Structure 1
Amino acid sequence: MTRSSEPLAAQARTLARAGDWDGARAKLMQLVGEVVGGEATDLAINRDQYSLNSLNGRVSLTDGRTLFFKYHNEEGEDKTIEEYYNAELLREAGYRVDVPLFACGEPGRQILLYALRADSRLADVCRDIEARAAWSEMAPVVEAQQHFDEEGVAGALRSLVPAEVEKVCREPVHQLFHHRLVSEGATPGFGGRVARFYVGQHFRFPGVEVEWERLASLQWVVNGVPYASTLGELFAEAGIRLLPAALADHGAVTAHGDAHNANVWYEADGETPQLVSFDPAFAGRQIPALLAEIKATFHNIFAHPLWLYEPHRVETHYQVNVRLDEGRIHVDHDWALTPLRAAFLDDKTEHYWRPLLTELRARGWLPTDWERVMRLAVFCCPTLVLDLRADGGSGHTPHSSALGLAIAVMAGCCPVEGEDAFSRFFARLCEA
């Protein structure tokens, strides 16, 4: 395969973000042609709310085939990923995974091409149920998720091995966490995306505006519940505790690492629906066990309904009020998990996390601060996947910004008193 002088996938992502969909389409058609060794005759890009750092769609080839493509590009971070697509290693480990027909993992050109499916992505199935409040239709989806969690923990336990520091540090899953917290010359926790998104920036919330320097040191009170850490403290702690070498103090597993529902097919043509993952961009053989299912836990459950992926709808769906007093920021909101997401949380708790933690404890591989590790990683999911500031370039509004940061704080630290959805989740895990 001949590599072009410029990273075509990166160019396509930039063009798409600028609204030049025709330009992005042309770049992707050129890239697909180079990867498959033929010519692409047509290409359509899906424009959905889940493609935060990637694009996907359909491409037609001169041989008559139509394929599904997906590529992933992290701005300024391409060189940190060496082996990008790992479907084969997941299949070898016994996971249910869609293996691409073609793949290119070169920095700036990462793309996968799959046989075209008629199946929906699980993200779209769930969104449809929630949009219609069709809770009577969610049972088969919940059952499929339960089986997927059972298969996931079985794969994790089957592949669970002592962590090897050098191998752990090379795993691409850290791209989702620590690599987004650091950059040369910056204090750990305040580099990377934190520096680009938040440090030195102005924040707009409903009726309140505040600079980062002040916001970073404010104590949060959410729905009357005070929280133990500030944003600044959470980013600083994450920059230290999520250091890859620091996560090699417990077991490691073979896992997908990024199995959010937009990376999962919902196969409904059999006797019972089943789930199949794809796009294992961050899969690996030595993923720290406590990180393996973090992205799926947050993005499939707590990022819904709609506030992270469709921030423009927050103001019409939720009440979000903000006020400042001496040293505190108060956020009151009425966001809550839907029945579907609550059922997913029950499944993930009982059929993935509790069995995994029980086995890690039995082998002596569960660190004493396992809850802090998990909370910090969950905190990173909303804050580092895109800029949560209003007018920060990712579509967030004052209402969604306040709600998103409040949920991130709820995820990242324990309430000083009272409880919330995250503290109840971790309380159940402590029983494992």
Structure 2
Amino acid sequence: MFGSITAFFDRMVRRYLPDAFLFAIILTFVVFLLGVFFTDSSAVQMVEYWGGGFWDLLAFAMQMSLVVVTGYILANSPIVKKMLGKISNLANSPGQAIILVTFVAGIANLINYGFGLVVGALLAIHVAKRVPSVDYRLLMASAYSAFLLWHGGLSGSVPLTIATEDHFLADLVGVIPVTETLLSSFNLFIVGTLLITLPLLNRLVMKSTQGLGKIDPELLDLQATQIEVPTEAPKEEMTPAERLENSQIISLIIGVLGLVFIIYHFIQNGLDLNINIVNFIFLFLGIIFHRTPRRFLNSVTDAVKNAGGIIIQFPFYAGIMGMMVTSGLSEQMSMWFVNISTEFTLPLFSFISAGIVNFFVPSGGGQWAIQGPIMIPAAMDLGVDTAKTAMAVAWGDAWTNMIQPFWALPLLAIAGLKVKDIMGFCVIILIYSFIPISIGLLFF
């Protein structure tokens, strides 16, 4: 029965799910019609809201793009690649391959979600080269399933935002440290449970769907070129400018300068892990690990290509967000859940409502900007822990990413696959993960 259910979702997704960009356009039409029929907004006003909000997330889009770019740069450095190659040696069978990729990608996503997406994809390619009998689509879906953990980790937009001074809700709740969000008992329970059980669930999917999607050898050979360390010309053949570009001293000096600032930052501010400092850490570690400016810039070029889909789709989701917010749709959705909530159920309903809103605003920070001003006052009125309410929204955002293709784009670009190749498997992850997340929010 489990195999039949998995095969059904895989078949339906591969048949009916459009490209990620078209998915954003379809969502634009859906939100437009919802605004016209369920709010007081006219069609002309909805168009105005859409165009007016189109460029509202440029600063945030830059931050999120840098998360993906810096994560790729670090994951694509020779030292990390060699480490991934050694890790892949632990897998000797398809089942071991699935478990290994899911678990390692989960750890990487807890560190940084851009890093985790790329590490998961690169490790999957290494493992697929070693175990060619593994289902390549499921292997990449397993790598992406670990992305579910990101908002409970060190790069989570919501916990890092509310841990930053002068955030937009500071007047209501002040600064909430990560000890009350990321290191809370409920978050540690959710993270620990998913980290242990997701590899086992993916292994069960593999066992029940044998032969569903074997690897294309030509595709694997093409994608494997991304894990090869490029060769360089001998120094005696370089021009003075090329010697400068390949100078390890320059990278070391600027890298050490960056590390000094990072140490100074934590001395002055304690465990202040906001979005900017996370990007800063990964950027300068990437500079050091690539050893020369030329290798670093070559990696940047590859990273930017992988982030292309995100860059072009962010304005469309900003336009969707403009319609959702200005028309009052997002408030209606959130308030409906607030109105049926009690002190006990508010975290759960905040989680579910965030999962729904995430379809239209697949950005943790952008979604928090919409739901935070609604959920936090409701939590204060009902006497619910504001930190838990914030993390409920964060987990809702992470939860439906399993069937929202927006953040799968970097991984798919590296894998050479399309969204519909992995989303059928991810539906199973979505259904299962509701259970441990709900338990953590309700009983811890």
TM-score category (smaller protein) = under 0.3
If you compute each CA radius of gyration, which structure gives the higher value, 1 or 2? 2
TM-score (norm 1): 0.27
As a proportion of its length, which structure holds more helix?
Answer: 2
TM-score (norm 2): 0.26
Relative contact order, CA 8 A, sep 6+: which one is greater? 2
As a proportion of its length, which structure holds more strand?
Answer: 1
